[in-house]
Amino acid sequence: MKRRWKWLIGIVTVLLVLTASLGLWWHQRLRVYANFQVPQARVATVFIPGYGGNWTSFGPMMARYTRYGIATERYQVQVHEHSETFKTLGPASGTNPLINVLFDDAKNPPKEAKQLARLMQSLKKRHFSQVYLVGHSSGGNIIYDYLTKYRKSTDPKVLKFASLASDYPGETTMNRLPKDLHVLNLGGQVWNFDSDWAVNLTSLKHFTTQVKPYVASVKTVIIHGSPLDSYHIMLHQNPDVDRILAKFLFTTTEQKGWTNWYNNY
C-alpha cells in the first residue's frame, strides 16, 4: 500500500511540474504581444482551415488577437450544403473584425471553394466590402481556387491573401489572381528537414516564384524551429506566427522579399 502511494505521489508531482513548466513556457511565448500594436480598420479577415479543420485551427489565434487588442472576433460561420449560419462573437463596432469559417463537409476542398464563393456574397450583404483571406494547408488551396475560378466582381474586394503551410503543385492559373493582391507565403521548417513534416519547402517556395509576376507583392516567411514551433499543424498555434501575420494583414509595410524567422524556444 505504501509503495502504491509513493508511486501515486510521484506521478502527481511529475504532472504538476510538467504543467507548471508548460505554463511558464507558454507565458514566455506570449511575450511577443508585449507593446505590439497595429492600425485599426474595418476590413474583415476571413480564416479558412485546412483538411478536416475545425474551431481549433484558427479559433485560438483569433482569441489571442482579441485578448491583446490586435483585432476583434466578429463571427463564426458554419457553412452548410446550401446556406450558412452566422454566430455573433463580438460587436459590430469592433475594429479589424475576424471571421472564422467552418465547413460541414470539411474534407472536400473543391466543394469548399465553391461554398466560399457563396459565403463571399453573404458577407457582401452584411456590408463587408473589403476582406483579407487567410488559409492554412488546404485552406490556402480553397482560397486560391476561389480567387482564380469563382471570384465575382460583386464580391467583397480581396486585398490580401495569407497562405500558411500550403503548396500549389500543378497550378498554372496564377494570371487569374487579382493584380493588386498582396500575398504572404508562410511555411515551417522543423529542425534541418526540408519541410514542416507535411509540406515540402521547395514546393512551398515555388509558389512565390509562380505568383510574383501576377500580383502586387509577395513575401515568403519560413519559420525555423522545433516541432512545437514549426510543425505543420502547430504553425497557427505559434504566437510568433500571430505577430508576423498581424503585421502583414493590418499594416502597410513593404511585403516583398524573403524572411527567415528563427525561434529561440
Q: Which tens digit of pLDDT belongs to each residue from 54-112?
A: 999 999 999 999 999 999 999 999 999 999 999 999 999 999 999 999 999 999 999 99
Domain count, the chain: 1
In a domain, residue 65? The reply is: yes
What pLDDT shows up at residue 264? 41
Q: What is the residue range of 193's domain?
A: 43-262
What pLDDT shows up at residue 26? 66
What pLDDT shows up at residue 65? 98
d(CA 228, CA 175): 36
What pLDDT shows up at residue 259? 56
What pLDDT shows up at residue 137? 98
In a domain, residue 75? The reply is: yes
In a domain, residue 190? The reply is: yes
Give the start-end residues of each E strand in 128-179: 130-136, 157-164
Give me the residue label for grid cell 465575382. 152
Across the strands, what pairs with 47? 100, 134
d(CA 42, CA 210): 31
Along the chain (265 residues), what's the average pLDDT of each consecutive run of 10 residues?
A: 72 77 74 92 97 97 97 98 98 97 98 98 97 98 98 97 96 96 96 96 95 94 94 96 95 58 43
In a domain, residue 4? The reply is: no
| pTM score of the predicted model | 0.91
> C-alpha angle 84/158/44, rounded to 5°?
60
In a domain, residue 48? The reply is: yes
Half-sphere exposure of 79 (CA within 13 A, CB side): 29
What pLDDT shows up at residue 118? 98
Give me the residue label for grid cell 485546412. 50
In a domain, residue 9? The reply is: no
Residue of 44, 250, 41 whose CA lies nearest to 128: 44
CATH of the domain at 190: 3.40.50.1820
In a domain, residue 38? The reply is: no
Q: Are residues 258 and 224 in contact, defined by beta-carbon separation less than 8 angstroms?
A: no
What pLDDT shows up at residue 261? 47
N- to C-terminal Cα separation, the chain: 41
What pLDDT shows up at residue 14? 76
In a domain, residue 172? The reply is: yes
